[in-house]
Structure 1
Amino acid sequence: MSNSVYIEYNFTVIPVQPASDILIAELGERGFESFVETDNGVQAYINKEEWNPEILKDLPILENSLFTIEHHYVEIEQENWNATWEQNFNPIQVGDKCVVRAPFHEKPDVEFDIVIEPKMSFGTGHHETTYMMMQHILDHDFKGKSVLDMGSGTGVLAILAAMKGAETIDAIDIDNWCYLNAMENVERNKCNHINVYEGTADLLVDQEYDIIIANINRNILLEDIPTYVKCLAKDGMLFLSGFYVEDIPKITEKCEEVGLKFENNLENNNWVAVKYVF
């Protein structure tokens, strides 16, 4: 896939939320595969073979008077994407035990050394939500646990869970780029007991996990929380991120409806990562 050509859309969104969540959902229905939330909106990617100049025609959110959305697009080749992130990707240190780095970075002297090539996938540790979810993983006991990483992106959270001693791990993402990238990163970090799947929460049939991690946008979380809880073992833990401080009441209300209770949250630049328990 190194020669694939993608169309990159850059959307400036006012207000950023909830418009960005809605925009991502609607673009996903039009065939867009990857999304990066920015301070001002969203970057979205679609394979050129699946694209046409009229792809945004009649997109409901673009006609909604409550939001102001501007956009432009460019062609981007996978090799150009890789060159760009290699120029800008710096190692990320989480606490004093974990570093996320690229293969070309020097090996650090830390307990958890995670090596990834993100390509067009989300989850390098640079974004606040990924960073906070890694903090949660570092702060909790994963030894011998069964874990689900939902919306796994690069697979970095699943990899850290494996390094923390999780016994069985499933990583699921709807995005084909993320699925392929996570497979590569799992192999690169020698985490052979991570099972990577391409799909949605519909894959969660007759599964049970001690810990579920989901770093996805708010609307998908609200829809899928009941499914997660059906898979959560007694005394299990649910870690959620991908939303803002002001979204906590709505997310907590949904969790309480299915028997979970809020325990605590981390906060970074108005993003949050929240822990719920039975």
Structure 2
Amino acid sequence: MRDLLTLTFGFGLVFTPCPIQGAMLELGIVGDGTANWPTVTQDEWMRRLGTLPLMYQPGDRWQYHVGSDVLGVLVSRAAGQPFSAFLAERLFGPLGMVDTGFHVPADKLHRLPTSYAHDPTTGELTVWDKARGGKYSRPPAFEAGGDGLVYTVDDYHAFLRMLLNNGVHHGRRVLSRASVALMCMDHLTPAQKVEKDQFGDHFGRHGGYGFGVAVRTRRRDLASPGQFGWDGGLGTTAYADPAEGLVGIMLTQTAMDSADRPRLHQDFWTVAYQTLGA
């Protein structure tokens, strides 16, 4: 469980061409960069994953993403219900996250923006996923723990505020204080961080990683050590800073596939922290 929660279970996304990357794409273990994923059920996905060897011994290295997908399957099987139902019962309902789920109902699709990405050959901004008829307009074949939730600023804010309040939301305990403390502390050794830190501002700038969130272990800019959160693949950034009592959320719909997105994030956080001294 700890290896899955910290993404150190021995398998994950590979960002350089290699045979196992090709096998992952061919089997549909990960997406191909388009919105056409996932395409199989969670049981079939697990069966296919089980045909591939581990890349490292469990606990050796942090590797992005796939551990979270496995966690979603594990939770579903342990709870005896769909992953979405478990999240709605234990998290979304108690937090009032009424607009969070693995797809957007038809009567709310007008609130979902089209998503964009850059063509890897030309650099031109192109449509990645249309709102109507797209990835999030229908329930997915596989409710993946690492990919697929749709939400609003209000919903994400409720979640991060609950964590800042040590697991309490509007006077009701949602998570134990100990669980929040474990979730939001760095669990990685220097050796485990080698692969993570190779990707600089994408994965390495925080310093640490907890249970599903990046954890800042050093002051490199205006954010305080202990800040936790994540930057999403479609250009979002959302963090909580316990030292400042601050939650910051910026939602965009353009993929994190150019230098512009990290610069926009940096500008957003600089302005947010500058307002604290105003």
Identify whether the pair has TM-score above 0.5, normalized to the shorter chain. Answer: no
- How high is the TM-score relative to the length of structure 2? 0.26
Higher strand share: 1
Higher RCO by CA contacts (8 Å cutoff, separation 6 or greater): 2
- How high is the TM-score relative to the length of structure 1? 0.26
